[in-house]
Structure 1
């Protein structure tokens, strides 16, 4: 039942470029109901084929149920049917990304929740770091915000395991990866580039719910739904280097609309060398608590299909990153 502790970045993309392209062409010209009819057996195939992702989904949904107790979003303990619905929501989220970049989602489909409006962030004139996650649909948020506000948004991402889908997104709209930055390490050159972005009043977006693709052992542990889970240190180190305001962001689907949530996190992060590990752990715990709240409220929009509470084994990490000792 329990999924093997694999590294998230080692998970291969399901489906070839041509297959994904064919499906999305069908979607653009055949409409929602036709693509959903075609998606059902394809999704069932991948659900049965990908045992690790299937079990990781079930593990997560059951953990939500046990953690929330009487307040669980599920009437009974989730089973594989709930897990399949989890996969189904992931597929719908992928289609929503296409809709967003094609302009099929309007501002009428959006509500702005949280304690802070994006307008206040955009019009402040100050650069900022925004910490997102793989809960909800960050791509939809980016497209909708971009259509309303002229502010430049720079996305730090690891895209190698979603190359085909990202290529199709780019073909759908030339703006998709205009400011998408592939970053595997926070080098001095990257720091200078991002500092310039902040100086110009731009936003830098990075996710905080996945450990480093290159150095997963640098993670810090924080309580998440009653169990310790590893969290990345990169977002907090980056924010401390850039010395700017930090906000949390979530984009969650509610029936036929999206709730864009922005929460202030810090006016500026400082990580003293003497207490570095302690401060990083505290920052990760604060983030984990907010992430936990929304993940329990929208469990089927959690798109981390691996054992979130485990670090990958040394062997698995080596297989993913390769032997770089000679570099």
Structure 2
């Protein structure tokens, strides 16, 4: 239960007020992005590291315990992690202002094959990299893209996000405490549409599965994986990672349960979740600083 509460307590909403957000969007019409990054690195990041102490400590544990870094390297990577996250937040506002980024896709054929098929399919996201850019990259040409989003984001940010993403046939579905969003997602899959759900965040239902993840057990939500198996739809994992100031690298990976080894639905769902966890591990091997779950993901394993 403590793990569920920890997952639900951290939403990752964008800081600042509506005026600040509008000003930031307008400024990207003429300001150099690298200059904005520099100001953030000097002023904003130290502020957040000092006053957002809980997120700072959880990231230190991630680098120290899960990645096995030394003390000083862990501190350095905590700063890099906050800096990279700040870049990604700024990039989202830059996209609202019309800025373009180069996005190279590894495995795009898997997405296009499912897009051209008659069956609906699921896309699992995670809090690594900048998944939101997937909405600008992968075009929902023939099937509507239904993306589950957590509540708590600033209203003006949600309005701008809705405006931009709706151009690509994407519908944002807010997660609700009464779990009614599950019916929306189920109906979308039954209609042959695409459903996108975070696969690393426990919300609402306490059901979870423990997966081997970065050398320890971590809890992943069971619901998304059970839904994929109930509807018997193909499942993809998509990661969009920041590679340089103006370039992102996207990865599309098919995940499947081992039906020969596992026959029960929950066992197959657990195996599907483990496959997803392995895909996250592989991406984090290349981009260790782009893990953005700013709480104790392994909160029952906080050895120093």
Q: Is contact 1:110–1:260 with CA below 8 Å preserved after alignment?
A: yes
Q: How does 1:190-269 map to 2 (within 5 A)?
A: 190-212=181-203, 214-215=204-205, 217-255=206-244, 256-266=246-256
In 1: Cα distance, 2:188 partner to 2:134 partner:
20
User: In structure 2, which of residues 272, 278, 283 is the aligned counterpart of residue 283 of structure 1?
Assistant: 272
Question: Once the 2 structures are TM-superposed, how far is the Cα of residue 116 of structure 1 from its aligned partner?
Answer: 4.5
In 1: Cα distance, 2:296 partner to 2:51 partner:
17
SS of residue in 2 equivalent to 1:126: coil
* RMSD, matched Cα: 3.4
SS of residue in 2 equivalent to 1:143: helix
Runs (4+) of structure 1 exceeding 4 A deviation are: 74-77, 161-164, 170-178, 189-192, 274-277
Question: Once the 2 structures are TM-superposed, how far is the Cα of residue 161 of structure 1 from its aligned partner?
Answer: 4.5
Deviations 1:282-309 (A, max 9, x none): 2222211111111222111111111111
SS of residue in 1 equivalent to 2:30: helix
Question: Once the 2 structures are TM-superposed, how far is the Cα of residue 206 of structure 1 from its aligned partner?
Answer: 0.6
SS of residue in 2 equivalent to 1:304: coil
Q: Report the CA distance shift for 1:54/1:177 in structure 2 as closer, same or farther (over 3 A).
A: farther
SS of residue in 2 equivalent to 1:78: helix
Question: Once the 2 structures are TM-superposed, how far is the Cα of residue 121 of structure 1 from its aligned partner?
Answer: 2.2
In 2: Cα distance, 1:78 partner to 1:64 partner:
13
SS of residue in 1 equivalent to 2:278: helix
Q: Report the CA distance shift for 1:8/1:27 in structure 2 as closer, same or farther (over 3 A).
A: farther
SS of residue in 2 equivalent to 1:98: helix
Aligned to 2:8: 9
Aligned to 1:128: 121
Question: Once the 2 structures are TM-superposed, how far is the Cα of residue 45 of structure 1 from its aligned partner?
Answer: 1.1
Q: Is contact 1:9–1:161 with CA below 8 Å preserved after alignment?
A: no
User: In structure 2, which of residues 52, 55, 59 is the aligned counterpart of residue 53 of structure 1?
Assistant: 55
SS of residue in 2 equivalent to 1:250: strand
SS of residue in 1 equivalent to 2:202: coil
In 1: Cα distance, 2:84 partner to 2:169 partner:
24
5+ long unaligned stretches in structure 1: 67-73, 312-327
In 1: Cα distance, 2:135 partner to 2:163 partner:
17
Aligned to 1:304: 293
SS of residue in 2 equivalent to 1:266: coil
In 2: Cα distance, 1:177 partner to 1:88 partner:
32
Question: Once the 2 structures are TM-superposed, how far is the Cα of residue 25 of structure 1 from its aligned partner?
Answer: 3.0
1:112 maps onto 2:102 in alignment: no
SS of residue in 2 equivalent to 1:140: helix
Q: Is contact 1:17–1:164 with CA below 8 Å preserved after alignment?
A: yes
* Number of aligned residue pairs: 293
5+ long unaligned stretches in structure 2: none
In 1: Cα distance, 2:26 partner to 2:46 partner:
21
Q: Is contact 2:115–2:141 with CA below 8 Å preserved after alignment?
A: yes
In 2: Cα distance, 1:165 partner to 1:177 partner:
18
Question: Once the 2 structures are TM-superposed, how far is the Cα of residue 224 of structure 1 from its aligned partner?
Answer: 0.7
